[in-house]
Chain A
Amino acid sequence: MPVSTPEIDIRIPTILRPYTGGEKSVQASGSTLAELVSDLDRRFPGMGERLLEDGKLRRFINVYLNDEDVRFIGSLDALISSGDNLTILPAVAGGS
């Protein structure tokens, strides 16, 4: 029996909205976060580059699956289920 790949809502931060035509929320599908990011980049070219560096999540981009920081649930290997939601927020950070 084929397993359907969940399509979920993704919350896009202001700085990345130029890639989504200004949309605050978009959808993408994947059964892991890596697949989701890859689908997001297919639908909105350039987005992948803003989220990944050397095949890993960028250090200063926070990604949350529901209410969890994905870094604590497997990062790109985090499993996606239907009904989940993803929030992307660039870290607010800096240094003197």
Chain B
Amino acid sequence: MLSITQEFVDAIYAHARADHPDEACGVIVGPASTGIPTRHLPMRNAAMSPTFYEFDAMEMLKLYRDLDDHDEVLVVIYHSHTSTQAHPSRTDIAYASEPDAHYVLVSTREELAGANEFRSFRIVDGVATEEPVQIR
């Protein structure tokens, strides 16, 4: 289960809406000791695409070094789908490489008419499993 505050849900949605129609991506990190999400870090989508996202390579190196220095982990890795539902695509599953992270997807597709679609998955060994989300 992913337990996350309304504030972070809103922040992810604000980022996704701001970057629409391109996909938005980012992370929420937290202490390795608790795994509770505490810091939201929007990342630049180097692909700048409505159908693809990729963390900027240099920004990502800085992120991982920063995590090491602060003994933090990636609790949530999120990205938006801007014309499809908030479910991992085949490429999302193929490239997922953080088995301990919650992969959050949000959708900003038009049919939702501004409603939220926020879902969380574990992606391990090529299999995506949806998990409940508890918003605190």
Contact, CB under 8 Å: A94 / B53: yes
Q: Is A60 an interface residue (CB 8 A)?
A: yes
B79 neighbours in A (Cβ, 8 Å): 94
Of B64, B84, B100, the contact of A89 (CB 8 Å cutoff):
B64
B89 touches A15 (CB 8 A): no
Enumerate chain A residues within 8 angstroms of B51, measured Cβ to Cβ. Answer: 95-96
By a CB distance below 8 angstroms, the chain A residues around B77 are 92
**A14-B99, A62-B57, A69-B57 given; A95·B25 CB < 8 A:** no
A48 at the interface (CB under 8 A from B): no
Shortest distance from the beta carbon of B66 to any chain A beta carbon, whole Å: 13
Shortest CB-to-CB span from A11 to chain B, Å, is 8
Q: How far is the CA of A7 from the CA of B43 in the complex (A)?
A: 33
Docked-complex contact B57 and A94, CB < 8 angstroms: no
Chain A: which residue is nearest B23 at the CB level? Answer: A96
Query: Taking each of A60, A64, A89, A96, which has the highest tally of chain B beta carbons within 10 Å of its own beta carbon?
Result: A96
- A89 pairs with B60, CB closer than 8 A: yes
Known A-B contacts A93-B52, A93-B55; A64 and B23 likewise in contact (beta carbons under 8 Å): no
CB distance from A73 to the nearest CB of B (A): 13
Bound CA–CA A62/B95 (angstroms): 12
**Which residues of chain A are within 8 angstroms of B64 by Cβ–Cβ distance?**
87, 89
Q: A67 in the interface, Cβ–Cβ < 8 Å? A: yes
Q: Find residues 61-78 in chain A having any chain B CB closer than 8 Å to their own CB.
A: 62, 64, 67, 69
A6 at the interface (CB under 8 A from B): no
- The interface residues of chain A lying within 8 Å CB-to-CB of B89 are 94-96
Chain A residues close to B by CB (< 8 Å):
13-15, 60, 62, 64, 67, 69, 87, 89-96
Q: B interface vs A, CB < 8 Å?
A: 23, 25, 43, 47, 49-55, 57-58, 60-61, 64, 77, 79, 81-84, 88-89, 91-92, 94-100
Q: List 26 A-B contacts (CB under 8 A).
A: A13-B97, A14-B97, A14-B100, A62-B60, A69-B58, A69-B61, A87-B64, A89-B60, A90-B97, A91-B95, A92-B95, A93-B54, A93-B55, A93-B91, A93-B95, A94-B53, A94-B79, A94-B88, A94-B91, A94-B96, A95-B23, A95-B51, A95-B52, A96-B23, A96-B51, A96-B89
